[in-house]
Amino acid sequence: MWRLTPIEAKQSAVDFRAVARRLHLPGQGLPNFLRLLAKSPATLTAYLHTEEGLAKGLLSPAQREQIALAVAEINGSLYCLAAHEAAGSRAGLSEEEILAARRAAAADPKSTALLHFVQAVVLQRGEINDEDFSHLKHTGFSESEIIEIIANVGLNLFTNYFNILAQTDLDNPPADRKNSLAGNVLEKNI
C-alpha cells in the first residue's frame, strides 16, 4: 500500500509526456516514482535537472546504471532495483553484469574499482580511506569522474530512500532477490 498518493496526468500542471521525453523513457506513461514526485513540482524539477545534468557527464549510461544497481542493492530498494535492472538492460548491461553490479562486482578491473568505491562510499557514509580513493584514481578515473560518481551516488540515495519511504508500487517485475546483498542484509535484520 502506497504511503503517498501518485498524481494522475489530468490532476497535474506537469506535462507527463514532456517529462518522459526529457528522460528518454520507454512507453507513454510516467513511472510511479515520477508520478509521486510530481506532487511536488519543485522536487520533480530538481530531480529532472540533476538526472539530465549527470546524463551529459563523463560517466557512460552503463556505468551510471551499475552505480544505481549497487546503491539500490545496499539500501534494499526493491523499486529502484527493478527500475535500474530494466534501465541497465537498455544501457547495454547483460543479465550477468546487472547481477554483478548489484553485488558491487564486475568482470573488468575498472568497473570493479568503480563499484567497490561506490559500495564503500555508501556503507561508510563517505568516510573513504586514502587507499580506496587512490585505487580508484589509479584505475583511470579522473577527479571529474570521481565527483560525478559521488553525485550519482547522492541522486540514487535520494531515489532509494524516497521509494522505500513511499512504498512505491513496482512498474517492472520484481527484482530477483536470491543471492543478493540486500536480501541477505534484510533477512539478518528481521
Rounded to the nearest integer, the mean pLDDT of the chain is: 84
Predicted confidence (pLDDT) at residue 61 exceeds the cutoff of 80: yes
> How much is the pTM?
0.83
* Residue 186 binned pLDDT confidence (cut-offs 50, 70, 90): very low
**Pick from 5-19, 133-147, 171-185: least confident:** 171-185
Distances (CA, A) of 138 to 41, 119, 135: 41, 18, 5
Structural domains of the chain in order of their starting residue, each with its CATH number: 1-56 (no CATH), 62-189 (1.20.1290.10)
* Residue 187 binned pLDDT confidence (cut-offs 50, 70, 90): very low
Tens of pLDDT, residues 19-60: 656 666 666 567 888 888 888 888 988 998 999 999 999 999
For 74-143, give the DSSP string. HHT-HHHHHHHHHHHHHTT--HHHHHHHHTT--SSHHHHHHHHHHHHHHHTTT---HHHHHHHHHTT--H
Is residue 174 within 8 A of residue 85, CB to CB? The reply is no
110's grid cell: 575498472
* pLDDT above 90: percentage of residues in the chain: 57
Predicted confidence (pLDDT) at residue 188 exceeds the cutoff of 60: no
CA distance 137 to 176: 33
Angle at 170 between CA 168 and CA 175, to 5 degrees: 120
